[in-house]
DNA sequence: ACCACTGGTTGATATAGATCAAGAAAGCAC
DNA sequence: GTGCTTTCTTGATCTATATCAACCAGTGGT
């Protein structure tokens, strides 16, 4: 089984016999560091598995960039509103490093339902899991200090520290780079 | 068309001719103030439209109650993880006032797919919208001050101020009741 | 009417984390 | 390597918001 098939199977729980056919819909492509996967206000018609590299989802607020999320190897990236509802994208999505992707466009994504019997249900399941993850994230802002969010991040996604600039991690965690730096320092001692 | 059918049609975009049959799955029931709709750690097998009243979704953190969400008239309430995946509930959900509900249980919810052709897709759409709402909420914690979140809340859900204790709204917005009180005071002048 | 209870306000103080500013390190180009 | 840019760290200060504490205003029960 190709790596591509493994990614897809893992994410959506597609029956093994349908995997090869499903996988043909996903095309390999690449992004160079700093290239945009998608621009706010334009359409984003692509959903991709990240085979290597990392991307950051952000938006501007009062002239500053606020990082909403960082997606890395083995994860999915898209602008959900655009891919699901055909709206313009809510987010800027930019490659933090050279990226290799397996990508499917909006039309093909919708066509998957034609031969995967329970495709809508699989999508529903997938989006529900994303919802629960965001629910946890909201709760972390309601109930935790910056230091606790940092600790939790260490446990869940420590590997990102070696892959992407810390300033973006700080922003994603709702703190300044200075605060993140101090927390790291404090924890090393 | 009954009010029940209107609620359901509005939320899920069900074809008018299927509405009466769909509506029969939803049973009217009521909760008294302070009664629990669902308890953390137990199963939550119900999804309900709120016909009147309000409920609060919360969890305990360090012995304190942290309010994740408040749902009011015209909105849906459930513990998504429990209803979707059959897990135990992540949240405590309690009536803030006497509530009238239209409720469907997990089995019937799954049975809706048997005669509503594109039911899974409708659910997918619904959950996606919830996801986008949470995305906005996360962004509000990343990029806004307590005062700005309060202002945004005023625009979106001001009516809740007259329906539920302010301490829960404060918690949901990620601030203390004292801070909310001061912000309100400041804005009246 | 009275008491008890819950919820809201106000003031004084404390503190986590932001901001501002200056260096230090680490990448990257040539 | 040498310089140039980007990122990270450290220190000094400031500020939004939390905490603690007292008090006040409703509301429901008896």
Block means of pLDDT (10 residues each) for chain A, 189 residues, are 78 86 92 94 96 95 94 95 96 95 95 89 94 98 97 94 94 97 83
Set of chain A residues whose Cβ sits within 8 Å of the Cβ of B40: none
Please indicate whether residue B119 or residue A69 has the higher confidence score (pLDDT): A69
CA distance A42 to B97: 44
Q: H helices then E strands: how many in chain A?
A: 8, 8
In chain A, which residues have their Cβ closer than 8 Å to the Cβ of B143? 61-62, 64, 66
Distance of CA A188 to the CA centre of its chain: 29
Q: Stretch B40-53: mean pLDDT, rounded?
A: 95
- Residue A62 sits at the vertex; the CA angle it makes with A130 and A157, to the nearest 5 degrees, is 35
* Tokens matching residue A59: 């938006």
**A187 CB less than 7 Å from any atom of strand C:** no
Smallest CA-to-CA distance from A85 within A117, A39, A55, A43 is with A43
Q: What is the CA B82 to C1' D6 distance in angstroms?
A: 47
Q: For an interface test with A, give the residue of B80, B124, B126, B147 to mutate (most A CBs within 10 A).
A: B124
Determine the pLDDT at residue B8: 83
* Residue B71 CA, distance from chain mean position: 4
Rounded Cα–Cα distance for residues A185 and B2 (Å): 62
pLDDT of residue A14: 87
pLDDT, tens digit (0-9, with 9 covering 90-100), for A48-90: 999 999 999 999 998 899 999 999 999 999 999 999 999 999 9
The predicted pLDDT at position A186 comes to 85
CA of A40 to C1' of C17 (A): 30
CA B58, B61, B65, B69 torsion: positive or negative? negative
How many angstroms separate the CA atoms of B168 and B162, rounded?
12
* Cα–Cα distance measured from residue B152 to residue B179, given in angstroms and rounded to the nearest whole number: 15
What is the pLDDT, as a whole number, of residue A97?
93
Is residue B146 predicted with pLDDT exceeding 60? Answer: yes
Q: What is the rounded distance in angstroms from the CA atom of residue A116 to the CA atom of residue A129?
A: 20
For domain B3-114, give the CATH superfamily: Jelly Rolls (2.60.120.10)
Q: Does domain A3-116 have CATH number 2.60.120.10?
A: yes
Starting at the edge strand that comes first in sequence, how are the strands of the sheet with A36-38 ordered? A36-38, A92-95, A54-61, A64-72
User: What are the boundaries of each domain within chain A?
Assistant: 3-116
Match 């990343």 to its residue by tokens: B142
SS (H, E, C) A56-109: EEEEEECCEEEEEEEEECCCEECCHHHHHHCCECCCEEEECCCEEEEEEEHHHH
B185 CB below 7 A from strand C atoms: yes
Instruction: Give the strand order in the sheet containing B36-38.
Output: B36-38, B92-95, B54-61, B64-72
Neighbours of B109 (CB within 10 A): 19
Q: Which nucleotide is nearest to A176 (CA to C1')?
A: C18
B108 three-class SS: helix
Contact A80 B121 (CB under 8 A): no
Report the C-alpha gap between A158 and A177 in whole angstroms: 16
> What letters, b where the CB count within 10 A reaches 16 and e where it falls short, cover A27-36?
eeeebeeeee
Q: What is the Cα–Cα distance from B141 to B174, expressed in whole angstroms? A: 8
Q: Which pLDDT band holds residue B6 (cuts at 50, 70, 90)?
A: confident
Rounded to 5 degrees, φ, ψ at A35 are -70, 155
pLDDT at res. A13: 82
Q: Are B102 and B48 in contact (CB under 8 A)?
A: yes
Tell me the per-residue pLDDT of B152-168, one tens digit each, with 9 for 90 and over. Answer: 999 999 999 999 999 99
Is the pLDDT score of B98 beyond 80? yes
- CA at A63, C1' at C10: how many angstroms apart? 36
All residues of chain A having their beta carbon less than 8 Å from the beta carbon of residue B61 are 139, 143-144
CA distance B94 to B88: 16
Quick check: A166 and A177 in contact, CB under 8 A? yes
- Cβ-contact B71, B77 below 8 angstroms: yes
Q: Which nucleotide is nearest to A182 (CA to C1')?
A: D9
């Amino acid at each position: 089984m190709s790596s591509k098939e493994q990614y897809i199977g893992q994410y959506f729980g597609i029956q093994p016999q349908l995997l090869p056919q499903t996988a043909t819909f996903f095309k390999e492509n690449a992004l160079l560091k700093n290239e945009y996967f998608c621009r706010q206000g334009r359409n984003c018609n692509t959903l991709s598995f990240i085979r290597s590299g990392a991307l950051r989802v952000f938006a501007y607020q009062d002239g500053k960039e606020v990082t909403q999320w960082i997606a890395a190897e083995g994860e999915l990236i898209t602008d959900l509103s655009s891919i699901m509802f055909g709206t313009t994208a809510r987010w800027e999505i930019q490659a933090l490093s050279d990226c290799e992707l397996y990508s499917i466009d909006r039309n093909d994504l919708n066509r998957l339902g034609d031969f995967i019997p329970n495709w809508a249900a699989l999508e529903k399941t997938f989006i529900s899991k994303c919802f629960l993850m965001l629910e946890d994230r909201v709760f972390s802002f309601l109930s935790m200090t910056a230091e606790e969010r940092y600790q939790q991040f260490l446990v869940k996604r420590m590997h990102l520290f070696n892959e992407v600039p810390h300033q973006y991690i700080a922003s994603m965690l709702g703190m300044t780079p200075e605060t993140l730096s101090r927390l790291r320092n404090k924890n090393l001692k």
